[in-house]
Each structure stands twice: as C-alpha cells, then as structure tokens.
Amino acid sequence: MVIDEACVSCIINQSIKVAHAIKASDALSQILTSTVEAMSKDFSLAHNPPEVAADVYEKMAQLADKTDLYDEVKALSTLKALSCIPLLQSKLLSSSNKLLTATKIAVAGNVIDLAAEVAFDLDEELQQIFDTEFSHNDFQILANKLPHAKNVLIIGDNVGEHIFDYLFIQTLQELFPHAEYSYMVRGNPIINDVTMKEAKEAGFDKLCKLVDSGVNTPGFAYERAFPHAKELFDDADLIISKGMGNYECLSPSHRHNICFLLKVKCQVVARSLDKEVGDIICKMV
C-alpha cells in the first residue's frame, strides 16, 4: 500500500499522541507538531505509511531526546494483556475448535495500537471477539495449510498484543507439533511495536525461534530487513502477518502463503480491503 492523503493527517496527529505519552511541555509539544507538519510537505507518495512513519518517529525521538517514546505505555499494555491471560486460557481449555479460538485471541490483541485512527477497548473486544465472524474469512484455508507447513513465520505487531501471540503460538505448537515456529519483531523501538526487549521479557526466546527483523518501520518492510530476516521470510512455508502495519508493508508482496490477521482501524485500510472499520480480517494471499 502506498500512502494515502488521509494518512498524512493521521501521521501529523500522532505527534499529539506522542506529546501526551511523554508528558511533553507545551513548548516541546508545539515543536513536535510543527516539525511533523513541515515534514509532511515532503512525504513521498511512493512509500507506504509505515515507511513514512519511521522517519517521522525517528525525528520526534531526537527532538524529545528519548529512544523509546512509548516505553511507559508499552509496559502498561503488557500488564493489561497479562491480566487477560486467565480468561483466555479458560476459553482455550473449553473450546471445541482451539485453532479458531486461538486465532480470534491473536486478532483481539491487535486492538492495542497507539497509531490507529480509531481506538478500541480491549475488554470490550474480548467480550465480543469469540462471537464475531471474520469479515474476510480465509480461516479454513489457513487451517488446511497448517498441517502441511514445516516452517511457520509469525510477524509480530504491537506490545501487549504480543502476549496474545504467545498463546497463539503455544496453541499452534500443540496442534501442529511437526512445524518450526519463528516470531519476528522490529529492529528498534517504533511507536508501540514489539521489539526483542519485550519479546524476550515475555519468554519468546524459549517458546520458539525469536528473530530481529532489523526494520525500523512499524511494519515488515522487506527491503529494510536484515539478510537473515529476508531469508526466513522467503523460505517459510507459511507466514502469519499480524496487524495493519505489516499489511500495509506487504500489500503487495513477492510472497504467497501470507495470512493477514488484523482488526481494521482506519478508513484507508478499510478501503484497501473493501471492508469497514472495526471488521476483523483473516485474509490469505
């Protein structure tokens, strides 16, 4: 996906969210917003939104003299997600279709997105998700591919959501123990996306193969990835891509057998998918 005009105002608005998150002074808040507004005049329409956002967030981090703009918020998101684990484990234990339940759990976690146009409440999402149908429903295609996949790559998205991904991968390992599973994270802090730091704290390095993508974008931008991450992406039998940022970066992709799992949280992605904001998506390409 290339950037849309609507993405420009969204990215500018993220400077306000950052100022609030870091408790910036009025002066710094003004500098952040005016700087991003100035940068927006030169946004390349040949790039996708995560690529544009990467440059903006790097500049805001410099101005704020803070490596991880959302470190405190990410910690709170992790605690909130962990508090949901007993409920989710109970849902899995009582489920007659563990794969579907685990997939819904993985999508529910995708509401934890600090850069989204529209915000959703996690508690409310968990009350509804198990009775909500995928608006684009390729779940059965995913279910049919998993028994034959020897190498499965899950590309992570946001912090907090990664706790739900942990349960998802655990379930995949239980149901399809023949496969090797890899979890790919961002190369450095960008918005509230999961990095090696949060993934290791959650124990992913003991759960499966944990991979640093090397990208500085809030989405897997293939051309910016480390060579080993590109190789893993190219060689995996099946890729499960979490969230809008990864969808924006990987639409289109040279790869087949990518399953996009996400909650639609902006009009631009909704139009791309021909769906509505709020829909949940399981789309195989």
pLDDT in tens, 169-183: 999 999 999 999 999
Pair 57, 76 in one domain: no
SS3 220: coil
Query: What Rg do the C-alpha atoms of the chain give, in angstroms?
Result: 18
Q: Is 248 left (phi over 0), alpha (psi -120 to 50) or beta?
A: alpha
Q: Are 268 and 236 in contact (CB under 8 A)?
A: no
The residue among 15, 45, 64 that closes a domain is: 64
- Domain CATH for 241: 3.40.50.10880
Question: What string of DSSP letters covers 116-144?
Answer: -SS---HHHHHHHGGGPPPSEE-HHHHHH
pLDDT of 226? 98
Pair 134, 159 in one domain: yes
Pair 22, 113 in one domain: no
Q: pTM for the full model?
A: 0.95
- Cα 237 to chain centroid, rounded: 20
Quick: pLDDT tens for 12-56: 999 999 999 999 999 999 999 999 999 999 998 788 999 999 999
The two three-digit tokens of residue 146, written as one number: 């998993």
Q: Are 210 and 199 in contact (CB under 8 A)?
A: yes
Query: Among residues 121, 103, 101, which one has the least CA distance to residue 111?
Result: 121
Tell me the residue range of the domain where 229 lies: 71-284
